[in-house]
Amino acid sequence: MNLAPLYAQHLSAVCRRIEAALERSGHDHLLIPSGVLKYRFLDDNPYPFAPNPHFLHLVPLLTHTDCWIVVTPGKRPVLVYHQPADYWHITPTAPEGFWVEHFDIHITREPSQATAFLPKSGRLAIVGEADAALDGYMPNNPPALVEYLHYHRACKTPYELACMREASRRATLGHVAAEAAFRAGASEFDIHRAYLGASGQNDSDAPYGNIVALNEHAAVLHYQRQDRIAPTRSRSFLIDAGASFHGYASDITRTCGDGDARFQALIDGVEQAQLALVDEVRDGRDYRDLHLSAHLKLAGVLQALGVVRMSPEAQLETGVSSAFFPHGIGHLLGLQVHDVAGFSASDAGGVIPKPEGHPYLRLTRALAPGMVVTIEPGLYFIDLLLAPLRAGPHADAVDWSLVEHLAQFGGVRIEDDVVCTTAAPENLTRDAFAAIMPH
């Protein structure tokens, strides 16, 4: 994959956005620290390093602390590259790669040395966390500048899409290995290890903590444990896991069962709804309407399978569908798994509200070409949410014996990463699976 020409175009586009943002906010320079190591309380052990996403937007340096970027309109961007003298740890190698030729690069051995290469005059916009500050250079995160950059980051450049395709490819390798481990009777922990091995990652490389859930654990939306011992019978398997490439994330969920006909019918129904929703990812589509469309489609699945004896419209109106589908249909995806500016009314700020009664939707903007979104409908059997339904006025519309049967499988979620284009959407996830399993 030749990223050099795509990166050159990407950097040019990002720098143009930065220049427009600086003009909007009334600043002369943008300074972006990569971030610093953070240490555990009363310990000298650091947390895994997570770089400033604004820094990653310009250079693919995922493990480099104490670096700075300076963007000044009309000048080449400057990278202050921290390469400490350290024999306790592996230190960064000399700058190399397709991005190097586009920067004036200065090497430092101590973090404080960066100040020698930062602007000494002019109005400075410094975007980062407070603990990245150096003497005279405190992050101020000007709202007008940050709002502008976040809003436009939603639409990806061809370079970013190429990175996300590779992140999808790596994740699908892991998903295939994870399903094979489930079929072989492995524990959640061993399935997780199989996923990491096949996707070429360790835990700190992954864009988020893998959700690896067997049986009833699939009803916990962000299930965060991994049992070391396999259950006596693995009835169902839900995995929500991604991969990263040059800082860009994939976010994929798959669910499978052990052959139970009623649970398989539920999986098939959710998948059919999911594919129909993917096709609704179109330029100008209000994502809030897509979320409500998901409720109607999933309510249709519940009705068709006899779980709920109500029309989809009635389930949506009464809130019954939310007892089985309690989260949003998806979110923006990119440098962050839940990427920024999902609610922005414009590049000047403002908030587009969520639909009434749907507090967990993470994206309310209209879709536009270049946006990458997740489409992740799900149906779950969660005691905390079903108890009020069982005690409420619509209890008689539910087949509780069928619910009890399906509850032992936890639930179903199917998630793809989808690019909005000027025509039909590009499904990064399905394309990646097709490339490794063409038949």
Domains of the chain, first to last? 4-153 (3.40.350.10), 158-436 (3.90.230.10)
* Tens of each residue's pLDDT in the chain, 439 residues: 899 999 999 999 999 999 999 999 999 999 999 999 999 999 999 999 999 999 999 999 999 999 999 999 999 999 999 999 888 888 899 999 999 999 999 999 999 999 999 999 999 999 999 999 999 999 999 999 999 999 999 999 999 999 999 999 999 999 999 999 999 999 999 999 999 999 999 999 999 999 999 999 999 999 999 999 999 999 999 999 999 999 999 999 999 999 999 999 999 999 999 999 999 999 999 999 999 999 999 999 999 999 999 999 999 999 999 999 999 999 999 999 999 999 999 999 999 999 999 999 999 999 999 999 999 999 999 999 999 999 999 999 999 999 999 999 999 999 999 999 999 999 999 999 999 986 5
Note whether 408 and 159 are within 8 A (CB).
no
How far apart are alpha carbons 148 and 195 in whole angstroms? 37
Nearest to 386 by CA among 406, 410, 403: 403
What pLDDT, on the 0 to 100 scale, is given for residue 1?
81
In whole angstroms, what is the distance from residue 421 CA to residue 413 CA? 25
Angle between helices 428-436 and 158-183 (to 10 degrees): 60
Place of tokens 């740890």: 89
pLDDT at site 228: 97
What pLDDT sits at residue 203?
94
* Alpha carbon distance 161, 419 (integer Å): 8
CA 339 centroid distance within chain: 6
Q: Alpha helix locations (H) across 143-286?
A: 143-153, 158-183, 188-199, 261-278
Q: How many CA atoms lie within 13 A of 230 on its CB side?
A: 16
Among the listed residues 235, 234, 229, the one whose alpha carbon sits nearest the alpha carbon of residue 190:
229
Buried b or exposed e, range 141-174, using 16+ CB within 10 angstroms: ebebbbbbbbbbbbbbbebbbbbbbbbbbbbbbb
pTM of the model: 0.96
Handedness of CA 372, 377, 381, 384 (dihedral sign): positive
Cα atoms in the 13 Å half-sphere on the side-chain side of 258: 16
In degrees, rounded to 5, the angle at the alpha carbon of residue 288 between the alpha carbons of residues 286 and 294 is 110
Q: Which of 121, 31, 116 is nearest to 70 (CA)?
A: 31
CB environment 415-433: b (16+ within 10 A), e (fewer):
bbbbbbbeeebbbbbbbbb
Collapse the DSSP code of 85 into the 3-class scheme (helix H, G, I; strand E, B; otherwise coil) and give the result. coil
